[in-house]
Amino acid sequence: MTTFFITRHPGAVEWATRRGLQVDQFLAHLDPAVIAPGDTVIGVLPVNLAARVCVRGARYFNLSLDLPAEARGRELSADELEAYDARLEAYDVSAIAGSPSDPQPLRHATDNAARCNADPGFASLAGIARGADTSNVRERAERT
């Protein structure tokens, strides 16, 4: 099982290092074909890539921030990530009807098949933060 951190931002790499996250590979770009069941992927991925990670049997953790508009569009340092409450949030993302792989017409977002739920087992994730301070790691769930 491999832990990937997908980012092209040096501040995010430093933030992860400060947190003591056990990362096997830092990558600037994700090729979903390299993801295997049981892997962990951390980053800020487009929803279609996050869904491909999940369908391959890996776990996806989004690097979430409370970023004000004036801070968008520029490189952020690890200190700024801390100031903007950087945290990992676990998600299980899947495509619903209407995706290129599903010929059914698009259904309303409240359809029971739609989900983007926080992973309830996040607290037991072994190896991602061995010995790290995870007090700022939170889980959130949205259920449609």
Give tens-digit pLDDT for 71-130: 999 999 999 999 999 999 999 999 886 555 555 544 444 443 333 444 444 433 434 443
Enter the pTM of the model: 0.69
Q: What is the pLDDT of residue 104?
A: 53
Q: What is the pLDDT of residue 97?
A: 62
Calpha distance 100→40 (Å, rounded): 25
Tokens of 52: 């491909």
Calpha distance 53→31 (Å, rounded): 10
Sheet architecture: strand order including 59-64: 25-27, 3-6, 40-43, 59-64, 87-93, 116-117
Residue-by-residue DSSP string for 34-95:
G--TT-EEEE---HHHHHHHHHTT-EEEEEE----GGGTTS---HHHHHHTT-EEEEEEE--
Q: What is the pLDDT of residue 36?
A: 97
pLDDT of residue 57 exceeding 90, the answer is yes
pLDDT of residue 26 exceeding 70, the answer is yes
Calpha distance 115→107 (Å, rounded): 13
| Portion of the chain with pLDDT greater than 70, in percent | 67
pLDDT of residue 55 exceeding 70, the answer is yes
Q: What is the pLDDT of residue 88?
A: 97
Q: What is the pLDDT of residue 23?
A: 96
Calpha distance 4→60 (Å, rounded): 10
